[in-house]
Every structure is written in C-alpha cells, then in structure tokens.
Chain A
Amino acid sequence: MAEATQSKFTLKSLLEWFTTTIGQIVVALLVPSITVFIMIKGFIFLRDGAAPKYIIALVAIIWGVGGVALIYFITNWLIEKLPPKWISKLQPFLFVGPAVVILSWYMAIPTVRTFILSLKDRTGANFVGFENYVAVFSQRIMTIAFRNNLLWIIFGATLSIAFGLLVAVLADRSRFEKFAKSLIFLPMAISFVGAGVIWNFIYEVKEAGSAQIGLLNAIWTGLGGQPQAWTAMLQPWNNLFLIIIVIWLQTGYAMVIFSAAIKGIPGELLEAARVDGATEVQVFFRIMIPYIMGTIITVSTTVVIFTLKIFDVVMVMTGGQFGTHVIATQFYRQAFTNQNKGYASAIAIVLVICVIPVMIYNLRQLSDEEAF
C-alpha cells in the first residue's frame, strides 16, 4: 500500500518534473529566439527603413543600447537556470566574454591580419616579403612623413607640456585659477575638424591691398609684412602652423594633470625652501619639477603617442599638401585612396612598432602590481 503511493508519487513528480523541464526548455529557447528576431528586425529597419530621421535616431539608440543590455540579461537568465556548479563556471565568461571577443575581433586579431597583409602586394593576393617595408623606409613621401611626425613630436609634444606646466604653476597661485583653467581646458572639447575650421580662418589670406580677414595676416600686414599663405609657405616650417593647433588643444590636458600633481606637493616642503632663501625659479626647478617627474613622464608618453597618430588636423587643414603629410595621413591615403593595402598595412605596423616600448612598460607595471 505504502509502496503504491510512493511509486504513484514518484510517477506524478516525475511527470511534473518532466513538464516543467520541457516548459523551461521551451521558454529557454523561445526567449532568446524572440530576442534575436526583434534584434534582426530592428537592424533591417534601421538599415533599409525610410522613416523620418529623428525616429530612426530614437529607434537606433534604443535598439543598440537596449539590445546589448538585453543580451546580458537573457544570457544570465539562462545560465542561472543551470545547476550551481555550472553557474560558477559559466558566469565569468558571460562577464568577460563579450569584451574579450570584441577586443580580439577589433584589436588583437587585426594586428596579426595587418601584419600578414603588410607582407603582401596591393591587392593582398601575392606575398612580396618585406618589399612594402623597404618602400616605406625609402620612398621620399614617407621620409617627409617621418620628418614631419618628428617635428610634431619635437615641437607639438614639448610645447604642449611646457605650456601645460606653465599654466598649472601660474594658476596655482592666482586668484583666477578656476576661470583660467576652464578656458585653457576648453579646446579639449572641440573636435580637430572644428579646430581646423577655427585655425583655417585665423590663417586665411586675402591678396595684398584688400582687408585681411584672417587674424594672423591682419596682424602681420599691420606690422608691415606681405600677406602670407601660412600653411603653404616655406616647407617644412609651414608644419609649425599646423602644430600650433594641437598645442592649443593639448595644453589643457597637460595642465589639468600637472595642476593636480602640483597640488600634491607637500606645502611644508615648498615653505621650507622659501624660508631657506630659495627664489621662485629655484623652487620650481629644484623642488617642483623633480617632485612631479613621474607625472611629467606619464603625460609626455600620452602626448607623444597621441602626436604620433595625428591625422584629422592635417587632413582638414592641408590634406597633406605642401609637404605636410604625416604617418597617419599617408596610411589613410595608401589604404583608401590608392587602395594599396599592403603598403598601408606596413605603415600601420611601423606605427605599432613605435608604441611597443610603452606597451612593454605598461605590462611590466602590471606584473609588479600585487593585485595580479
């Protein structure tokens, strides 16, 4: 009797278990399928739809942001249906997986693919060995680009850092600190293309005799000079007029970081030096600079890497004419205008080689950290 109920109970519970499992599996399959369906519909609507612009914009934003969040939620919901042992094994991959996949697709694997491409000819069909690299280091257009990048680093990076430091020190002891820092920092919010328009306007040249509407030529002719096409004259020094733009943009970045570093110098240290009769200049060079040396190196690295990749300014101001090409504009020209993928890839690899020392330094820092 007891046995019968027992087995009946088991049968019933088995049936129950069976239906719920089936139900769960159906739901587990249905929910992602519906999600995928909606996502694909959304994509097609966005790509081919003819709705008014602002509706497309709204749908796109919701579809994009909501879609990514949904993928996380649903995948997690599925994972948490599994036994606990599986949860702890799978969940980390839900957290880290998407980032690793995207990083691999967009950065890690392309590095290898670009390297392989750099060993091939312009169509990517035949291997040509290191021919592209030989061309990169021997052709005159590339020599000019390398020279210009060197000018960018020597003048652009150095002056941004120098001005940044100067403003940081001055602002630190001025009553206009906030105001001054805000305005010097402001160009950071402006795109290079926008900055290009701003400075193109400053460099605008009209023929001699008519009113100069460009600020620089107005000052220059006011001082008795002849109007100049600043970005086209006297190579390679015309590059300096492009470099000024980046100094204008970058100084704010250097300033903010130096300013924070200077505020970190203990007041007693500076006070003691002043009491001992050190002049302001001595305090600056003997105490401040050594104290914030680490920050100066960090900022310099960032600015130099940034300067190495400079592209937009040159593209908008001169398009690389008048001997102003840099590595990144040559890369763009070779890759997309000349359609010489092999040559362009070799240029990109050269850029990567330039930053490898910084990469190694970063990795060293990481292995020194106790966290890992």
Chain B
Amino acid sequence: MKSAKGQERLRDFVVNGALLLLVFIWTIPTLGLLVSSFRTRFDIQTSGWWKVLPHREWVLVEELDIPEGVDPNGIMTIEGVTGTFDELREGITGEDGRQITWSGNKRLGTIRINEERWVIFPDLTFENYGQVLAGKTYEIQTASGDVMTVEGDNFVGAFLNSVTVAIPATIIPILIAAFAAYGFAWMKFPGRRLLFVLVVALLVIPLQIALVPILKDYVRLNLNGTFLSIWLAHTGFGLPLATYLLFNYIKGLPRDILESAFIDGASHFTIFVRLIIPLSLPALASFAIFQFLWVWNDYLVALVFIGAKPDVQVLTMRIAEMVGSRGADWHLLTAGAFISMLLPLVVFFSLQRFFVRGMLAGSVKG
C-alpha cells in the first residue's frame, strides 16, 4: 500500500514535471520577445535578453590616465597587476577581484578598472515603443543627452488599418453566413441541396486558387487597395466554414420555437432577427473570434490585395517589411511584433472559452 502511494507520488511528479517543462519551452520564445522590446538598443545588440535576470557583470568603476613612467613595450605593473601590453589589453584580474584593462593604443590609452558586481535592476525603456508607434518623426534622447530625430515606423497608422480591415471582415461574413445558414436550415427553395453541396465542397479549397483571378477583377473595377476589396476577399474566403458551422448550429435549435413563432404570424426575417440571432450568439461569438484572429494575423491576402500602398498597410505587412529592410533593429522589431500581438492576446485571454468551443465545433465534422 505504501509503495503504491509512493508510486503515485512519483507519477504525479513526472507528469507535472514534464508538463511544466513543455510549458516552459513553449513560453520562452514569447517571453524573450516581450522582454527584449523593453531593452535599449545597445543592450539588445550586446547581450542576450536573459541578462535582465540578476547576474554578475563587469562594471566600470574607475578610469585612470596611464601612470607616468610605465614603459608600454616592456612588462608593467599598474594598480597591483603585472603584465605585458597585450595582456593588459585583454584585461588582467587582480587578486582583489578587480579587472584592469588598458583601453586604447600604447601612447594614448587609459586604464579602466572593472569590478564584478551584481546587476539586479536591468535598464528598461519604453523608447522602442515610442519610436515604432510614432508617425513621421520621433525624438530620441541619446545617452550623451543630445536629442536625435529619427523617422518613426507609424505603427499607430498600421494598427488603425488593421482594425479597419479586421472588424468589418469579421462581422460581414458572419452576417452573410448566418442568413445563409438559416436559409439552408429552415427554408425550402429549389436548388437548396445543390447549393449546400457547393458550400461543403469549397470548405477545403485553398485560397491561392482565387488570388490571380480576383486581383484581375479588382484591377478592372478599380477596387485594388481599398478596404472594401479586402473585406470582400476575407468574406469570400471565410464564408464556407462560417456557413457550414452556423448551419450545424442553427439546424440543431429546437424546431418548436420556430413553429410557434410562425403560428403567431412572424415572417422568416423577424424570426431570424428576433429569435435565431440571439439564440445563436455562442456560435456566432466562437466563429467571430476565429475569423478575427485569422484576419488580424493574415499576411497573404493583405499582401496581394493591398499591395504596397503605405497608407492602407496592415500590421503584418508593416512588420514583414521591417524584417526585410531593417532586420537587425531588434529593438524596433520586437516592439512592433508585440504591438501586433496585443489585441489578439487580449481577445484570446478574455474569450478563450468561446474560442475553444468554436474549434471543437469545427472539428467534430471536419
């Protein structure tokens, strides 16, 4: 009996240990991004982001002129350490734990004395966010106290564009799909079966199939680069799944509610607006989260239909462009990427329940 209990405890330990290890591995990448976005440009380029944790580091405590009478070509004794010029250039650690370094050349050098100290409070800043968010110009205080004007990355603009694209591109397909789902589920009309087969057949068709012809249409209609074009595109690509999921849900609603409403003389439209929409809210919310995340995070559709128009660019395009043009500016890239993740993460954490439910509904049939 005792060994069984011990075994259980061991099993618990293994299970929890393995799980927490996986969670740790899964979280580290995002954590690294978040931490880095608050570090200064200099820090990011010279040390890993994990250095924000308390650690021991060489800190400059004193800088001296070269003492008179030392011969740089021979063996010297400075501040209690002895060595050649090359050794001093590398830095020599004395018995008291101080590191003596010769900085500069033989004639015009200084002596730097470093001490290893605990660094507990890392140097963090909001500057990166300021610069990324700013429009045309942004002023930076440099370390020496000068004010430097740089070009901002206009993430505020891109953020607004993303919102303008994502909200209608979420609501419009849901509205259209809900109407269609009701039609397929509760109305009789010729071609109903055939049209629903079309919806199901299109469920798995990759959207790549549509890009070339639709772009052609847009150019002809002079729609390219407008918000309408991208809403419609997202509506088109999201409709099969939306219609299918909502159909399954609406079909499952109790029929008697509808029949009694009919007897009371309500029209299909009234029933749909007054009864079906409120009853389907959970399903609508689930799909809305899905569609919102998909549109917000989309890169391909935006790239093709918005193209290079800088005033309509969405966040993903902005970041991808930055990766290409200034891929080493990690202080800006990390801040920009985090801004783009902000809204999805809020949606995700506040509505996770609906999100999971929506995913499960989608997978039951597949």
Task: Find residues 193-225 in chain B having any chain A CB closer than 8 Å to their own CB.
Answer: 193, 195-214, 217
Residue of B nearest to A342 (CB): B212
Q: Using Cβ atoms and an 8 Å threshold, which residues of chain B touch A69?
A: 175
Is the C-beta of A228 less than 8 angstroms from some C-beta in chain B?
Answer: no
Q: Which of B22, B198, B213, B319 contacts A117 (CB 8 A)?
A: B213
- Give the contacting residue for A191; candidates B46, B164, B272, B344; CB below 8 A: B344
Chain B's nearest CB lies how many Å from the CB of A13?
26
Q: Are B235 and A102 in contact (CB under 8 A)?
A: yes
Query: B226-258: which residues lie under 8 A (CB-CB) from chain A?
Result: 226-228, 231-233, 235-237, 239-240, 243, 251
Binds A, one of B82-90, B111-119, B126-134, B166-174: B166-174
A98 to B359, CA, bound (A): 26
B278 touches A (CB below 8 Å): no
Q: How many whole Å from B83's CB to the nearest CB in chain A?
A: 21
Interface window among A136-144, A145-153, A282-290, A347-355: A347-355
Which of the 9-residue segments B58-66, B145-153, B293-301 touches chain A?
Answer: B293-301
**Chain B proximity of A207: nearest CB distance (Å):** 13
Q: Say which size band chain A's interface belongs to.
A: 35 or more
What distance in Å separates the Cβ of A37 from its nearest Cβ neighbour in chain B?
Answer: 16
Task: Check A108 against B304 for contact (C-beta < 8 Å).
Answer: no
Which residue of A64, A113, A201, A319 contacts B330 across the interface (Cβ within 8 Å)?
A: A201
Which residues 316-349 of B have a CB within 8 angstroms of A? Answer: 316, 319-320, 323-324, 327, 330, 333-334, 336-337, 340-341, 344-345, 347-349
Contact of A174 among B15, B167, B200, B227 (CB under 8 A): B15
A204 touches B208 (CB 8 A): no
**Cβ of B157 < 8 Å from any Cβ of A?**
yes
Task: Collect the chain A residues with CB atoms within 8 Å of residue B143's CB.
Answer: none
A182 and B352 form a contact (CB under 8 A): yes
Q: Does A246 contact B (CB under 8 A)?
A: no
Give the shortest distance, in Å, between A258 (CB) and chain B (any CB): 10
Considering only residues 47-99 of chain A, those with a C-beta below 8 Å from chain B are 47, 53-54, 56-57, 60-61, 64-65, 68-69, 72, 76, 80, 87, 89, 91-96, 98-99
Whether A110 and B187, one on each chain, are in contact in the complex, defined by CB atoms closer than 8 angstroms, is: no
Q: Which residues of B contact A200 (CB under 8 A)?
A: 323, 327, 333
Residue of A nearest to B269 (CB): A76
Contact A98 B180 (CB under 8 A): yes
Interface: B137 (CB within 8 A): no
Which residues on A sit within 8 Å (CB–CB) of B199?
A: 99, 103
A106 vs B240: C-alpha distance in the bound complex, in angstroms?
11
Residues of chain A within 8 A (CB-CB) of B207 are 107, 309
The docked-state distance in angstroms from the alpha carbon of A106 to that of B305 is 13
A311 to B299, CA, bound (A): 9
Query: A16 an interface residue at 8 Å Cβ cutoff?
Result: no
Task: Determine whether A362 belongs to the interface, using a CB cutoff of 8 Å to chain B.
Answer: yes
Q: Contact partner of A248 among B26, B196, B208, CB < 8 A?
A: B26
Q: Give the distance in Å from the alpha carbon of A362 to the alpha carbon of B196 in the complex.
A: 12
Question: Counting CB contacts under 8 A, is B138 at the interface?
Answer: no
Query: What residues on A are CB-neighbors of B200 within 8 Å?
Result: 362-363, 366
Q: Is the C-beta of A341 less than 8 angstroms from some C-beta in chain B?
A: yes
Residues of B within 8 A of A113 (CB): 213
A193 engages B316 (CB within 8 Å): yes
Q: In the assembled complex, how far is the CB of residue A194 from the closest CB belonging to chain B, in whole angstroms?
A: 5
* CA distance in complex: A106, B210 (Å): 6
Q: Is B184 an interface residue (CB 8 A)?
A: yes
Which chain A residue lies CB-closest to B196?
A: A372
CA distance A194 to B319 in the complex (A): 8
A189 cross-chain contacts in B, Cβ below 8 A: 293, 341, 344-345, 347-348
- What are 22 A-B contacts defined by CB distance under 8 Å? A54-B160, A61-B164, A92-B192, A95-B187, A99-B199, A100-B195, A106-B233, A107-B209, A113-B213, A167-B22, A182-B352, A184-B26, A186-B26, A186-B30, A196-B320, A198-B33, A200-B323, A201-B330, A248-B29, A299-B363, A365-B365, A366-B200
Given contacts A332-B304, A359-B203, 18 further A-B contacts (CB under 8 A): A80-B269, A92-B183, A99-B199, A102-B235, A103-B236, A105-B217, A110-B212, A166-B22, A180-B23, A182-B352, A200-B323, A201-B334, A213-B45, A218-B50, A302-B366, A362-B201, A365-B365, A371-B251
